[in-house]
Amino acid sequence: MRPGDTDVAHEGPGVSSRVMGAGRSGTLHQASPQEWSCDGGFATLCWALYFHESGSQGPDASNPETRAHSMNEGILLQGVTKTYSRGGEELRVLDNLDLTMDEGRFYALMGPSGSGKTTLLNLVGGLDLPDSGSVQVAGQDIRSLRGAALSAWRARSVGFVFQGFNLIPVLSALENVALPLALTPLSRKERRQHALAALDLVDLGDRAGHRPGQLSGGQEQRVAIARAIVTDPKVLLCDEPTGDLDRAAADQVLALLQRLNGEMKKTVLMVTHDAAAAARAQRIVHLDKGRLGSIEEVQAEQAAGAKP
Amino acid sequence: MSLLRLVPRQLLRHPLRTLLTIGSLTVAIFLLCILRSLVTTLDATATTARNDRLWVQSAVSLFVGMPAWYPDRIAQVDGVQSVARWQWFGGYYQDPSNFFAQFAVDPQKVVDMYPELVVVEGSADAFVAGRNCCMIGRGIANDFGWKVGDIAPITGALFPHPDGADKAWELEVAAIYEPGARNFDDRTLFFHWKLFEETLTTPENSPGVGAMVVRVKDDVDPSLVMGAVDDLFMDGPQRVQTTTESEFQAQFVSMFGNIPFFVSAIGGGVLAAVLLACINTMLMAAREQRREVGVLKALGFSDAKVGSVLLMQSLFLTLVGGGMGMLLSKGIEPSVVAATSSFMPGFLIERETYLMAFIITVLAGVLAGLLPAWSTRKLTVVAALGARD
Ligand SMILES: Nc1ncnc2c1ncn2[C@@H]1O[C@H](COP(=O)(O)OP(=O)(O)O)[C@@H](O)[C@H]1O
Ligand SMILES: [Mg+2]
């Protein structure tokens, strides 16, 4: 698909504004027509088209009630406790934790090693379940889901980005990105288009055929981000996404996360050790020994100043 | 991008390991097909032989001749329709290594008694009509390039030609047969008793009779005829032993003793070993793909889907290996037929054998894949991704 194709040429901006909808209005539908020709613009265009086509899969669209009745479309933790037992010894990793994160915000989660950051992220992503307390993500109470339902919810509602990238080494960048789409009713061709659009969005459209081993760490992580957003989840969960990257690559990844948060209204929760990385977020949550330390509002200038 | 695409990719990750596993399966299934076919062929030989044909041989041994007048005497026994003389000739073509079975027989009688000898070139009548004529099986016709009308020169190792030991018996090919049943091979040559007898008879000496085939009349109990024939020569000059054709052939089969048992045991052992090798390969693969299993689960793929990627890898390995083993046995079957025809005619890999090989292949694939697939099912995402990285 090219920008000149009839569908796109006729419907481009219209689709985007219709698709992005009232609650999702962002910078995208305000883009002027000439911006469509630039790489990112083209990608976002395809993206918008994808929203349009597969919008019915989103939890919000398929279940309007959930949306209307829920108080918070962000992330809501109430009295969350998680214990691991190791060698007969009980280890309380999260201790009666209450935490609210607003929809469409960019959060950094900081804390010393072993303070339970990864555990928290796993609970929010439904990879693990708390011993007690409730976890609500985008209006969905995760503890009410089990097995296949939990997997299905995960597939459409959250995207994961890991420190170690976790791409499948035997698949090309494009195939890696297209992987989550195998769970959607999209046709082969559509899946390919969406995956290409997601790759374009992270500026790696020209590396579609490369295997992870042929990419740099920064490129691998951007492919992983493309994979995390290809199903258009509302929430992005990133566990030290820049931990294995050098400064320049880390900056690119952080800029990308900022853009996804700014332009596409993703709620981003990013675990990091790095104060400079955390400064790119809007709020910093400090975790200490399983308890909430403080929530720090990042100064607008600080965040803006960190932008390239 | 469907998950299935992962299957070949993962297998190609370690091409040598994949190749070795496939290779071991190929060998095992090949051995299984051939070994089982040896057993089924022996079985079939014994069961397709007929009971209305009796074999008469000297009670001393198959290799001791009987007096020349015995056939006429036996023909007079009640219930006997006809008697054909058979003499093992034991010759060769050009070189002793070109070994195949030749018999001097009563041609008309053999043609009548053995409807399973289906003449496909030339004619049975022509064979019967010419004293120098012979009828050969398709197998030797192919081996030596003999056509109808050609002369087959056979050197008599047991019965040298009287004109000199170097001189071959020259037999004209008048008919080529193909076996219509499995108790017959396609590598036998029949020629005229008359030629045999007249060539060897000297004033002092004439050849005896090696064996006879007695066709029992249709409504007569073969066991009665057997008893009567045995009784005939109870008091000499030489006692005979009469058996039904099936027993006669079973006598060869029993020469193999417990072979069927050993063959099955070896086949079973080979299979068990290869199954363990497959399981090992798949467990190694599952360990390597642990992290990827975690990723797939995190992305929202169900346990069943993730497990099936491993199961498919296993099935792919065994199906390719097993399939190649079956193809290999099919390809090698003619050579086995040629190598075994002299002592075990009609070697054949039955359809049931292929079916069994296929089922075993699938079962091996499922067994080897189920274990790792099951263990990935129990693996939580957090554990698979390494919760503490
Ligand atoms: N599966 C597990 N079993 C036992 N202990 C665990 C497990 N996962 C994490 N832990 C322990 O829980 C604590 C918090 O781990 P984690 O959430 O990974 O911390 P962080 O990501 O902040 O470094 C650590 O002390 C870790 O050793
Ligand atoms: Mg961690």
- Average pLDDT over chain B reads 85
Strands B188-192 and B133-137: antiparallel
B234 or A178: which leads in pLDDT? A178
Q: Is residue A4 part of a domain?
A: no
Rounded (5°) CA angle A223-A227-A231 = 150
Q: Do B171 and B154 form a contact (C-beta atoms < 8 A)?
A: yes
Distance CA B302, CA A151 (A): 6
The answer on pLDDT for B389 being more than 80 is no
- Taking one residue from A and the other from B, the number of pairs with CB-CB distance under 8 angstroms is 75
Dihedral sign (CA B169, B172, B174, B175): positive
How many Å apart are CA B305 and CA B292, to the nearest integer? 13
DSSP string of A141-187?
A: EGGG--HHHHHHHHHHHEEEE-TT----TTS-HHHHHHGGGGGSS--
Q: What are phi and psi of B122, to 5 degrees?
A: 65, -155
Distances (CA, A) of A58 to A142, A242, B93: 16, 29, 84
pLDDT at A60 over 50: no
Rounded distance between C-alpha atoms, residue B214 and residue B231, angstroms: 15
Both tokens of residue A194?
């969406």
Q: Which tokens sit at B17?
A: 């390991």
Range of the domain at A207: 16-305
The neighbouring-strand residues paired with A140 are A137
For A233, the token pair is: 């989840």
The answer to whether position A1 is within a domain reads no
> Domain of A50: which CATH number?
3.40.50.300
Question: Which pLDDT value is given to residue B46?
Answer: 67
Residue B95, pLDDT > 90, answer no
Q: What confidence tier does A296 reach under pLDDT thresholds 50, 70, 90?
A: confident
- Cα R_g (chain A), whole angstroms: 19
Alpha-carbon distances, residue A116 vs A283, A287, B385 (angstroms): 18, 8, 16
Residue A9 inside a domain? The answer is no
User: Nearest CA to B379 among B305, B290, B280, B308?
Assistant: B290
* B137 to B133, B331, B347: CA distances (angstroms): 14, 21, 15
B347/B174 Cα distance (integer angstroms) = 26
Q: Is the ipTM of this complex over 0.85?
A: no
Environment class of A48 (CB within 10 Å of its CB; exposed 0-12, middle 13-18, buried 19+): buried
Determine how β-strand A75-86 pairs with β-strand A267-271. unpaired
- Cβ atoms of residues B213 and B53 within 8 Å: yes
Residue B378 to chain A, least CA–CA distance (Å): 12
Looking at the predicted structure, is the pLDDT value of residue B158 above 90?
A: no
**Rg of chain B over all Cα atoms, to the nearest angstrom:** 30
Per-residue pLDDT of B13-32, as tens digits, reads 999 999 999 999 999 999 99
Q: State which residue of chain A sits closest to B387, comparing Cα positions.
A: A118
A261 at B interface, C-beta within 8 A: no
Q: How far is B25 from chain A (nearest CA, A)?
A: 25
Q: Is B182:B344 a contact under the CB 8 Å cutoff?
A: no
For residue A178, the Cα-to-chain-centroid distance in whole angstroms is 16
Query: Within a domain: residue A6?
Result: no
CA angle A234, A142, B372 (to 5 degrees): 95
Calculate how close chain B gets to A163, using CA atoms only, in Å. 8
Contact A182 B1 (CB under 8 A): yes
Where residue B98 falls among pLDDT bands split at 50, 70, 90? confident
User: Do the chains contact at A118 and B388, CB–CB below 8 Å?
Assistant: yes
Count the neighbouring beta carbons within 10 Å of the beta carbon of residue B86. Answer: 21
Q: Which of B12, B300, B385 sits opposite A152 (nearest CB)?
A: B300
Which pair of structure tokens corresponds to residue A164? Answer: 């170690």
CB of A218 closer than 6 A to ligand 1? Answer: no
B14-28, B115-129, B183-197, B204-218, range with greatest mean pLDDT: B14-28
Range with the lowest mean pLDDT among B78-87, B220-229, B253-262?
B253-262
Q: In this complex, is the C-beta atom of A166 within 8 Å of any C-beta atom belonging to chain B? A: yes
Taking only the tens place, the pLDDT of each residue in A5-23 is 333 333 333 323 333 333 3
At A12 the pLDDT is 33
Q: Give the C-alpha distances (Å, rounded to integers) separating A135 from A77, A97, A142, B55.
A: 5, 10, 6, 90
Q: Where are the domains of chain B?
A: 3-46+257-385, 65-237
β-pairing verdict for A283-288 and A106-110: parallel
Structure-token match 């169900």, residue found: B302
Mean predicted confidence (pLDDT) in A124-141: 91
- List Cα–Cα distances, B17 to A168, A228, B10, B278, in angstroms: 20, 33, 11, 10
Answer yes or no: is A279 within a domain.
yes
Residue A91 lies in a domain: yes
Strand order in the sheet with A89-101: A89-101, A75-86, A132-137, A140-141
Q: Which amino acid is at B189?
A: L
Q: Does A183 touch chain B (CB under 8 A)?
A: yes
Q: What is the mean pLDDT of residues A299-304?
A: 56
In a domain, A252, yes or no: yes
Task: State if residue A112 touches ligand 1 by the CB under 6 angstroms criterion.
Answer: no
pLDDT score of A35: 33
Q: How many domains does chain A have?
A: 1
Q: Is omega for the bond preceding B237 within 30 degrees of 0, making it cis?
A: yes
Percent of chain B beyond pLDDT 70?
Answer: 93
Does A5 fall in a domain? no
- The β-bridge partners of B192 are B105
Mean pLDDT value of segment A160-171: 93
Q: Looking at chain A, list the stretches that DSSP marks H as alpha helix, in order from N- to C-terminal side.
A: 6-20, 39-54, 59-62, 64-69, 117-124, 147-157, 173-178, 188-201, 217-229, 247-264, 275-278, 300-306
Tokens standing for B374? 């099951």
DSSP letter for A51, please.
H
Amino acid letter at B148? V
Chain B residues within 8 A of A118 when measuring between CB atoms: 387-389
Task: List the residue whose alpha carbon is closest to atom 21 of ligand 1.
Answer: A118
- Show residues of chain B in contact with A119, CB under 8 Å: 387
